[in-house]
Each structure stands twice: as C-alpha cells, then as structure tokens.
Structure 1
Amino acid sequence: MNHRLLALVLAGCSLLSLAPALAGQAPRAASSADIPISRTDRIYAADQFSNTVSVISPADNRLLGVIRLGDPQPANLSPLYRGQVLVHGLGFAPDGKTLAVVSIGSNSVTFIDTATNAVKATTYIGRSPHEAFFTPDGRELWVTVRGEDYISVIDAATYAEKTRIRVPAGPGMQIFSPSGEYGYVCSSFTAETVAIRLGDHQIVGRIKQDSPFCPNIAASPDGRQVWLTLKDIGRVMVFDAKPPFNVIRTIDTGPLTNHVNFAHTMTGDFAYVTVGGLNTVKVFRTDNFEEVAAIPVGQLPHGLWPSGDGSRIYVGIENGDAVAAIDTATNRIVAQIPVGQAPQAVVYVANAVPQGDGTTGLQPLGVAAQATHLTLSPVDASTASRGQTSVSLFDQGLTQVLQAAVAGLEPRKPYILGLAERADGSGPIEPLASFKTNPAGSAVVNAVGPIRQVVRDRTGGQARYLVIVPGTVSEHGDPVQVQSRAS
C-alpha cells in the first residue's frame, strides 16, 4: 500500500471514529439505526380531562391540533354518551402507522391512523384498562386491564380481542424486550411483576416488587435491563431482562415517581424518570446507576419518550398542560409546547406522516386550553423542604376538574382537601375530597365543581381558599397547607 493510500485509509478510520454511533432508541433494539428528527415525525400526548390526543410536530416544537375522542363534562355523564372518557394510555405499531389510545373511563382502545388522524376502530375491553403496546412483530396489541387480572391481547389486523393472559391482579403496564422474546408486566395492585414468553404467552419469571403500585415499566434498547417505577414509595427497581430476571438495583427517586424511559446518547445510555412530587426529571446512567441530573420541568411530570435519535426527551407536564422538550446533550429544557388537559402518556413516532402536512382531522384546543394553576404552601415554614402541593383546575365549562399533586405531608395519614373562609385557613372547612397519603407523604387528589369561581375569580359571593387539614370529615385538625396568596 502506498503512503497516499495509507493516509486516506487512516483518515477514513479517524472520521469513522468521530462519527456518532448508530443505536436505536426505545422501544427499538440498540442495533437499529437512529432516526433524525424530521417533519414526518409526530409526538402524541394523551389528555385525560379534555379527552383528546394532542399532536405535535417535533421539527419545530409546535402543536398541530388535537384528535377529539370525547367531550368534557357534563356531556360525558349522559347515559347516551358515545365518546371516550379519561384518555390516558398510548402505544404505537412498529411501522408507525397506527396509534393505540387507551381510555380508562370508557374501557376502550381506539386505533388511529397516524397519517390521517382518523379513527380506524374502537375495541371495548375489561374494566379500567391502563396502558397498551404492540409486540415487536406488530401482530398483537397487549393491553393491561388494571381493574381486573389479565392482559387483553388484541389482533392488530382485526382489532378484536383474541385471547387473555392471566397475570397478578391490577396489571399496570407492559413492555417488550427489543428482541421480541419476552413481555414484562408490572402490577398496580399486587407486589409482583411477571415476565411472559411471547411465543406461547406463558409466565416464565416472577419479580417481587418493593411495593404494590407500579404504573410504568420500560426495557432498555440493549436488551439487558428492565426498569419499573413504584409511585407510592418513590422508587425505581431495575432487574435483569433475561432469566432468572434477578433484581439488579433499587433507587429512591422521590414522591410520585411516574414514568421511566431511555435515551442512547454520545456519552452513554441514560434512564429518565419523572418525579411528580419534586416536579423534576431525574437522569441516571444505566451502567453504574449514578444520578447525573435533576431537571426542573414543571408541575407533575408524567409520561415521557425519546426522539428517534435520542437527542430529545419529551415529557408530559400533567398539571401544566404542556409537553417539555429536553435536550439530552445538556439536560436542559429547549421548548414548552401547550397541549390538552392533564397529559398522561407521551409517545414519539418516527415517520408517522410520510407525506403531506398531517393536519387532516385535527381540531384546535378550544376549552382544553383553559386551566387555572394554584399552589398550597406549608403553614409551618420549617417543613417547606418537604415540598408543596400544586393544584390545577381544568375547565369543563361551568365546572372544573380539580387535580392536586399533594406533597410534603406525613406518610400514610388521612387528610382533607377543602375550602376555608379565610386566607390563613382559619374558620369552618368545607370538604372537597378525603384522601390518605402514600408512604412518601404524597397523593393525587381529584374533585369536580365550580371551584375556580370561589378560589380565583371570587365574584358574586364570598371568597374561599383551598387548604389541606389532617384527619377526617367528622374530626380534623388545623390546616397544614394553605393556598398561596399569589395564587
């Protein structure tokens, strides 16, 4: 080989060593090529209280519109109502052509054509389904029926339920190994996750959960690890993705730990975890489990998903009606995109719209864009480090759905969210909702009514103030958190 040719070969090797390695992002295998962000990609967010799916273009971080699957209250209270209620879970086919949307309140899975935003079919299944995902070969959709004890397996060609797989009661979420060998199903009611062999739908492994409330689970693209979240105790568990499925690590993450997902970057593989009580996304290395970042993102982060090249992580901000875009190179927010009410699951679908602008059938946000955000702060300043409560009032017309992301209270204790006559919380308390905190001193509390009119607008009557008091309706103590005067 002459010197000139040798120099060219060495230069080529040098350039190759500097080029980014191709590695697939979740849920694809690491051996898949990265897919750069483009105008053919879409981000979808399931909007629980507006019963919509928000559709975002990641190329310019812009909301294109919403797919309206149902109506707000009180229309959805009618016995003749035919739309969906509590739009919550999302999954997508491997070819990116079909989006599966789970609605908890109407026990349904809606199949949407990603190119046209049109509903292709709706399948009704068991009580309170939670999440859905397609098998890696695209032939089946597995849906966790959290109100019962099975996975509903739906034929992706006919949209009909073909079989059921019995699992521990209250299955919360399922995901698959990138190889397509196993499905992993965690539980929201039972302290056990199971590994299921896809070939024959048989349970081949059982993993003990540290608590019975797992809402989310994810498999790393390299096929080595499975991470699950435990919302009630604020923890993630990591176990080996292959038999005997041994637990590798547990990590305390914080109150209201919600979802987890992965991104492969130039500096390594990372797990991103949403922690609602701290309003952050925590970032961990997957090799040594070191926490490398805690990113403030807004009130009650929920679902998240990486872009097709791992350069971005998109996070649904449940009590902020937004999707935040995180640059994985810097772990900083680079965009906040308004969406429908209380986004839950978020997915990123590469090449969802191969041709055209993909806006057919989309509608504007409308009433879904209206929400009021409040904060309840500790009465005792010495407990401020424990956290505070964020409250969103999602407009439904004359009424609102109140959702409080409660944090900073005593664990496993009964409390009341109510209305007080005075700003300091004194005077009689009118209860709105009773609740009990989880082991992390947190809870998510809901109520419905014309609440904004008395705590924010304060027109046409006496003003009231949101408070949290310990105890029960029949016997309670003094307020421990009160509505901030700035609210």
Structure 2
Amino acid sequence: MPSARRATWMLVATLGVGAGGLAATSMAQAEPAAMTGTVQADDAARHRPIPVSGRDRLYTADQSSNTVSVIDPSTNRTLGTIALGDQRVGSAFSPQYGGDSGVHGLAISPDQRRLAVVSVSSNTVHMIDTRTNKVLSTTDVGRAAHEGSFSADGKQFWVANRGRDTVSVVDAVHGGVVADVRVGEGPSKVLMSPDGRTAYVNHTSKSEITVIDVRSRKVGKPITGLGATFSSDQAISPDGKRIWVSHKRDGKTTVVDLDRKEVVTVLRTGPDTNHPQFVDNRQGKFVYLTMGGLDQTWVYKRTAGTPELVTKVRNGGHAPHGAWASGDGSRLYIGLEKSDAVDVIDTATHTVVDTIATGQEPQAIVYATRVAHPGSASNLGRQGLGQQAHNVPTLLPDGTAGDTLDPVKGRVLEATVRPVSGLDMIQLQARGLKPDTVYQAYAVTADGEKTPVRSFPTDKNGTTPMALSFSAFEGDSISIEAKGEATPVQKATFAAQGSMHGHDVKTADLLYCDCC
C-alpha cells in the first residue's frame, strides 16, 4: 500500500524554493524487474513510429501551480490539469497542509499505463493512471527527489534523491519504497538502459555517472571524466549506446560512449543547458538540447565522433526546459519554464509550428501514445491555467537594459512575474553581475516610482540562479542597485548552496533550487 503522507515545508528565501523532509523507510521487498529475452523485442516494438493521434497525450509537470497539464497533441489543445497540491504559495505554510509542492519530474511506464510524477519539495512520487488521470498511489521517498525511470517490466520506478545520496526503488504497482541504493553525493536522474539491465545516475556534486546492476542493485565502476561537476539532466539514445549529460551551470554537455564506458567529447553549449532529447526520423538521427538562457533549442546530428551542430531553433517563449518527442519523431515538444507554455517543433524543418498554454512553470515533459479515447478529459480541472507568466524589462545599475539577449552569455538580469494564489511570484535570475555583492531590486512604474521588491546576493561568479519574492507587483519594470559586498555569512551560505548537498541540514539547504 502507499506509504503515509508527511507534511513538508516550503520556505522562501534568497535563491528560491527547495526540498525538505526526511528519507522514507524501506518497505517489504518486491521481486526485481524481470529480465527476459522478450525485453528487447518489446523495446523494439515500442520504438516503431506511431503517428500522432487523438489517443496520445502530452504531459507537463508544473512546478508553481503544482499540477500536471494534460494536452491532446493531435489538436495542440490543453485538456486540463491534474492538481497534486495548491498553487505557490497557497496554504503550503499551514500546519494542516497535506498536498504536494514542487511538481517537477515525470516518467512514463513501458506500457504507457502509468505516469510517475516526482515532487521535489514534498519528496513524493505519485503514480497516475493515464487512462483515467487518477492518482493510484503516493509514496514518500528521499529528500529532494528529482528524476527517475521505470524498470523494463514497469513494476518499479527508480528515482534519484539529490539530498540523500540515494536512489529509491518504488513499487510502481502498489506504492511504497522497495529499497534504497546508496550512490554517492547529489544523484540527479536515473536512466535505464533499453534492455533494462543497467541503471545510470548522473550527479550534482561529482563529474561522473554511477552504474548500477538493476537485478542485484549493486553499484559498479563509475564512468568518470565528465565535463563538469554539476549535471542537471541526461538522456540515453534509443540503441543504448550513448548518454548525453547536460551541465546547466557550466553551459556544457558531455557525450558518453556506453560500450567503452568513456567520454567521447565535451560540447561547449550555452547558458542553462538542459534536457537533451533524441529524435530519429527520415532526415537522420538528432539530439535536441534546450538552452534556457538563450531561448533556443539546439539541434545536433549524431555521428560516430563529435556531434555536428545543425541549427539553433528560436523558441516561442522564455527558458526552454524539458523536452520529449512524439511517437513517430515528427514533433518535438519543449516546455517553456518562464512562459508557462509548450513549443511544438516540426522536426523535419526544425521550426516552431505552435505554442500551447500549460500550467505554471512547466519542468519535465512526457509524451504517451495510445492511452486515451479521442477527446476524453476525465478527472481534469483548470488549476494553473489562464495564469501565464510574463517577463518584464530590467535595468542594471549603470542604466543599461539587463534583459538584452547576448548570443553567448544570455541575459544579465531576467525578471518573470506570474500570478499565484492572490499574489504575484516575482522570479529573478542574474548572470555577469559583480561577484559576492548584495543587490536591491525595485519594481518601477512608468512614471519612475520605485518600490523595493527584495535584496539578493550574487556568488563568487556574479550569479544568482534564482531569487523569489511574493507580493503584489504593480510595476512596469525591475531595476537593481548594488548595496555593497556580501557578508561572510552570505558567502558561506552560497558555498553551501553551490554544493547542493549536506547531511547537516541547514536553512540554506532548504531554500535553494537550481531546477533541472
């Protein structure tokens, strides 16, 4: 049965909203995933092209509205949302709050019947029936649970717990934790090999991939030499021969050869490099890679050696994030984190052909084939819809525009405003400011009147990945002023937050979110 729900807390501070809570205790052992000769045949069948139809569904995990958006890809229409908790901030600070927060990660079972939803702040995994949109079970897992994958037989879901150095093995049929596998600091995402025999885990705290034998749950020799320490996401090729590992903070992507268990190349990509996604179609074999800081999705052609950059797709909104392809590879869907929408890319022409409104702050995306009756929208609501975010102009201390897009470095200062639960969530992201400096942000009206929004410090690189404020925003733009050097306490806080890790739980650990 599902494990008991535990109340968790979401705190607002300098760098955002992160995860709290305790690791779940293991439940009764379940049988490991079956590894039979039919796995390869079933996998091959799943990779046959399946044309887009009204029976397919596209899902987004919406971190601010705490919903899952459900989209009909045949019409590019959002059918509704599955609410798993209140909108930020909602009643999350109430001691009676029992919902989830930080709806973030998604995965689809091999038979497309179950959708796994991971909430990073409440540390939970929901199993949702894709036919009815109903929650089947809720399981408490480890702290800062992030992204995972199903076993080959669909009976288990393996999820990485960034704050507990573990991978939780969840019973995907009945709910509950089967086992916890210790994998080292800051595990970020679990990938399964196509044959289901091996699990690969990237990290936020070390430049390697942990390799796990699925049947025995034993950790083997890691793949080392990745291009950076922090890895936000990764994806495995359909043939299981390569993994692309994105390094969001460093603007790099590592390509790993799994036959040789070694790095092929490290690509210099762009700011906020994120989710890679493989697409095979008549034009060839490609990887699409989102560049959140450039509002672009880059397209690489897969080759035996160094991948070839084919083109850069201009997205229809801000901060492209999660990505997933249709069953036939004709369409690629990109979540726009700061526009509360999804871009539809025609993979034959590498162009955006439509943009679909979703719930608030979409993160991961999943595409499921042949799971519903055409036009069906059972058990769906409207939470988070019709409340799209908008970016406002920004002004730097020297009087220049902070939101001018540099083709390499991205924007210096981005400000995103979205309505949540009677307030506005004001989200700031900064790059290239003075290092170790405290800045004051103001809401500025058309006639120049300034109202303080919040102060925030930068790290040693002049970066603030995220600063959140909740208030009524009545300005037309946001300006910032430097207020002096960060204190030793603030510098130490940044150092702790930069590691994204620590067993001695501090307030700073609960406040930081450098979202995947």
**If the length of structure 2 is used for normalisation, what is the TM-score?**
0.78
Match of 1:3? none
3-state SS of 2:349 partner: coil
8 A Cα contact 2:65 2:384, kept in partner: no
Aligned to 1:257: 273
Answer with 1 or 2: which has the greater Rg.
1
**Equivalent position amino acid for 1:222 in 2:** D
Q: Is the 8 A contact 1:367 1:396 kept in 2?
A: no
Equivalent position SS for 2:92: helix
Deviation at 1:376, TM superposition (A): 2.2
Give the structure 2 partner of residue 483 of structure 1. none
In structure 1, the partner of 2:65 is 50
1:71-470, aligned counterparts within 5 Å?
A: 71-72=86-87, 73-208=89-224, 209-242=226-259, 244-287=260-303, 288-297=306-315, 298-353=317-372, 355=373, 357-365=375-383, 369-376=387-394, 379-380=399-400, 385=406, 386-388=409-411, 389-407=413-431, 409-410=432-433, 413-414=436-437, 416=439, 418-419=441-442, 431-436=454-459, 443-453=464-474, 455-456=475-476, 465-467=478-480, 469=482
Q: What's the offset of the Cα at 1:60?
A: 0.9
In 2: Cα distance, 1:421 partner to 1:45 partner: 33
Moved more, 392-401 or 44-53: 392-401
Cα distance, 1:415 vs structure 2: 5.0
Structure 1 CA distance, aligned partners of 2:261 and 2:240?
12
Q: How far, CA to CA, are the matches of 2:453 and 2:133 in structure 1?
A: 44
Residue type at the aligned position of 1:433? F
Q: By how many angstroms is 1:406 displaced?
A: 3.0
Letter in 2 for 1:83: G
SS where residue 76 of structure 1 aligns? coil
Aligned length: 437
Structure showing greater relative contact order (alpha-carbon pairs closer than 8 Å, 6 or more residues apart) = 2
The answer as to whether partners of 1:117 and 1:358 remain within 8 angstroms in 2 is no
Distance 1:278 1:158, change over 3 A: same
- Judging changes above 3 Å, is the alpha-carbon distance between structure 1 residues 384 and 283 closer, same or farther for their aligned structure 2 residues? closer
Q: SS of the counterpart of 1:189?
A: coil
Identity of aligned residues (%): 36
Question: What is the CA–CA distance in structure 2 between the aligned matches of 1:308 and 1:449, rounded to whole Å?
Answer: 40
Shift of 1:30: 8.9
Compared CA separation, residues 381 and 129, structure 1 to 2 (3 A): closer
Q: Which moved more, 1:162-171 or 1:441-450?
A: 441-450
Give the Cα separation in 1 of the matches to 2:405 and 2:365: 31
Which has the larger displacement, 390-399 or 290-299?
390-399
For residue 205 of structure 1, report the CA deviation from its aligned partner: 3.0
- Tell me the amino acid that sits aligned with residue 100 of structure 2: Q
- What amino acid sits opposite 1:261 in the alignment? Q
Residue matched to 2:21: none
Supply the distance in 2 between the matched residues of 1:141 and 1:421 (Cα, whole angstroms).
Answer: 47
Structure 2 residue matching 1:315: 3-state secondary structure: strand
Q: 2:166 corresponds to which letter in structure 1?
A: Y
Name the stretch that deviates more: 72-81 or 226-235. Answer: 72-81
Displacement of 1:423 after TM fit?
7.8
Q: Structure 1 CA distance, aligned partners of 2:448 and 2:410?
A: 19
The aligned residue for residue 47 of structure 2 is 32
Whether 1:63 and 2:78 are equivalent positions in the alignment is yes
Q: Deviations over 1:134-160 (max 9, x none)?
A: 022212100111111000001222212
State the Cα deviation string for residues 436-468 of structure 1 (Å, max 9, x = none).
Answer: 276xx6543131221413x24xxxxxxx83326
CA distance in 2, matches of 1:246, 1:451: 51
Decide whether aligned partners of structure 1 residues 366 and 161 sit closer, same or farther in structure 2, where only a CA change above 3 A counts.
Answer: closer
- Cα drift, residue 194 of structure 1: 1.0
**Contiguous gaps of at least 5 residues in structure 2:** 1-41, 491-516
Deviations 1:260-300, CA, capped at 9 Å, x for gaps: 11100112111111111111101111114111111111211
Q: Structure 1 residue 414: deviation in Å?
A: 4.2
Query: Counterpart amino acid of 1:168?
Result: G
Amino acid at match of 2:468: A
* Distance in 2, Cα, partners of 1:101 & 1:181: 23
Using structure 1 for the length normalisation, give the TM-score. Answer: 0.83
User: Quick one: distance in 2 between partners of 1:262 and 1:470?
Assistant: 45
